Amino acid sequence: MKKSSKIILLVIAVIAVGAIVYRAVNTAPPASMQADARVLKIMEKGGCAECHIADPKLPFYANWPIARTVITEDIVEGYKAFDVVPMMEAIANGEAVNEVDLAKVEKTVMDGTMPLAKYYLVHWGSSLTKKKSDIFLEWIKEHRAQFYPNPLAVAEFANESVRPVPDAVEYDKAKADLGNVLYHDTRLSADGTVSCATCHGINTAGVDNLKYSEGIGGQLGGVNAPTVYNAYFNFVQFWDGRAATLAEQAAGPPLNPVEMGCSSFDEIVARLSEDRAFVEAFNLVYPEGLSQATITDAIAHYEMTLITPNSRFDRYLKGEKDAMTAEEIAGYELFKEYSCATCHAGVNMGGLSFELMGQRADYFKDRELQEKSGLTDGDNGRWAQTGVERDRYRFRTPGLRNVELTYPYYHDGSVKTLEEAVRMMAKYQVGEELTEQEVNSITGFLRTLTGEYNGELLTNDNMK
Ligand code: HEC
Ligand code: HEC
Ligand code: HEC
């Protein structure tokens, strides 16, 4: 065991014990705390950290010829699929575990697929007995109820990994109104031809339906434009997660040379300042005046209005049984069975984690054979921000709300139909070959995810 992994495990253990003692001393020990400690113990005993950590501890027989091959392979595959450290740290600190991690572990425990059967053949740990599985699943349920309350869903669906879109989120109306103007304002671009809405049309489901977007002077970007609808619910923005908030995101396009091409926000402020009426209205809401900070803040408030509640699926979760057909409900069951609801969890059904594109098959190799085009900068995904090799080809998962309207699909915009996107997800992310019937069933379900904007069903003018 390398020093660094020893230190990580030690730190987790110390934090766990420390946090538990601290909470025990400072508050009456709540039941949840004992449950946390119990689950950490199960994970420790189950060897989760031995395969799902950067630098794992190896048992003495790891050097035996057969064991070496099997174990090395499991550890490589295990860490590729799941990093257990953030989850164990969160539990130890009494903090929220990421919804996607919860969903993934829940799914593996329910399926009885983890820890791997062959792991026990070499007597390396103890199995998750039925009792331990039940404790684990009950803990996940309680953790969800505590950190991701789901008051909109009826009791039957309160513990689903997917939650309905709320009717509204809190925002400042006056700021959002200014943001609305700025969002549609071509003065944010160098040559006055491009606004946010050029690539994220409000009447075209927040996208441009192009493989790559067209910026000023007809220049093409290198990745597909995700929708602005429900972007608020994403844990970070952009495929590589380089913006932490909507406001931070909004500072990007105006200065991006192929998108809006301005040299600085001073240039934008100067242009907008010539418009006396606008400046007056703006200063009433932002006494500090026009600046990068206030412009992007206003746009962010506007984007908080771009959410789409009341899809047929959400109405079903809220108890309206006939909002979905039997066939569509069957599609939802398949969506859960094939683990789609793990990475595509939460309110936006995605947007909460970075995931490897090609978890179970080499997506980029196959794409190259098909298109004869090599890898692009955009394919690097999260790696572009961290330089960490594990992050290469990992993308901030897209949300699936309104997905029937937001074609083409994937970060490279290479997939034209929803059917194909679903079939390929099963192959590359889940390692399953879907039948035609299953593809149609899941796609049918995904079409129920189209929500309402301003009380009307979201549509896409490009499809009319
Ligand atoms: C012997 C090594 C090993 C141990 C021990 C182990 N895993 Fe895994 N785990 C793997 C491998 C390999 C994969 C990827 C292949 C697969 O899912 O079949 C994986 C995948 C996973 C996934 C991702 C599944 C998905 O669908 O993306 C989760 C979550 C997971 N393991 C959780 C756990 C938990 C929790 C424990 C402890 C109770 C555990 N694992 C113990 C090797 C291990
Ligand atoms: C030339 C087309 C273009 C323009 C103009 C443009 N965008 Fe984008 N937008 C994109 C592309 C392409 C991406 C994905 C880039 C990436 O992930 O690296 C994106 C990403 C985003 C995201 C992140 C969504 C997610 O799921 O990660 C948001 C939010 C967004 N844009 C809002 C805006 C706002 C606000 C403006 C105006 C200030 C704007 N965009 C201007 C093309 C454009
Ligand atoms: C291991 C995590 C993971 C699992 C499991 C998973 N997905 Fe995805 N999904 C992703 C990622 C990452 C992307 C983005 C891929 C890219 O851009 O190259 C994506 C993209 C998609 C898209 C395209 C959305 C868009 O706007 O481009 C659809 C549709 C989709 N997934 C559906 C599914 C379905 C259906 C399943 C189950 C069969 C599934 N996913 C399972 C991670 C996952």
267 is catalytic: no
CA 422 to ligand 3: nearest atom:
35
List the domain boundaries for the chain.
3-149, 173-303, 312-463
State how far the Cα of 70 lies from the Cα of 49, in Å rounded to an integer: 17
Whether omega before 115 lies within 30 degrees of 0, making that bond cis, reads: yes
Output the pLDDT for position 169.
96
Name residue, tokens 């962010």.
300
Is there a shared CATH topology between the 173-303 domain and the 312-463 domain?
A: yes
State how far the Cα of 20 lies from the Cα of 198, in Å rounded to an integer: 52
Q: Is 224 in the pocket of ligand 1 (CB under 6 A)?
A: no
Probe target for ligand 3 pocket from 224, 228, 336, 344, with the most ligand atoms within 8 Å of CB: 344
Q: Mention every residue, 6+ apart, whose C-beta is less than 8 A from residue 8.
A: 53, 54, 55, 85
Probe target for ligand 3 pocket from 429, 442, 445, 446, with the most ligand atoms within 8 Å of CB: 429
CA 409 to ligand 3: nearest atom:
27
- In this structure, the residue with its CA closest to atom 37 of ligand 2 is 196
Name residue, tokens 């978890």.
359
State how far the Cα of 186 lies from the Cα of 197, in Å rounded to an integer: 9
Q: Mention every residue, 6+ apart, whose C-beta is less than 8 A from residue 440.
A: 419
State how far the Cα of 363 lies from the Cα of 96, in Å rounded to an integer: 32
Nearest ligand to residue 80 Cα: 1
Residue from 99, 259, 303, 355 carrying the catalytic annotation: 259
Q: Is 422 in the pocket of ligand 3 (CB under 6 A)?
A: yes
Residue 396: closest CA among 414, 408, 378 = 378
Tell me the residue type at 366.
D
Q: Is 132 in the pocket of ligand 1 (CB under 6 A)?
A: no
- Cα separations in angstroms, 81 against 355, 399, 435: 9, 20, 25
CA 258 to ligand 2: nearest atom:
1
Class of domain 312-463: mainly alpha
- Cα–ligand 2 centroid distance for 37 (angstroms): 42
- Cα–ligand 1 centroid distance for 82 (angstroms): 7
- Read off the tokens for 411: 């970060």
Output the pLDDT for position 123.
42
Probe target for ligand 1 pocket from 116, 137, 143, with the most ligand atoms within 8 Å of CB: 116
Q: Mention every residue, 6+ apart, whose C-beta is less than 8 A from residue 133.
A: 109, 110, 112
Q: What angle do CA 162, 166, 169 make, to 5 degrees?
A: 130
Class of domain 173-303: mainly alpha
Residue 286: closest CA among 209, 193, 175, 183 = 175
- In this structure, the residue with its CA closest to atom 41 of ligand 2 is 196
- In this structure, the residue with its CA closest to atom 43 of ligand 2 is 199
Kindly give the parts of the chain with pLDDT less than 70: 1-29, 59-62, 113-127
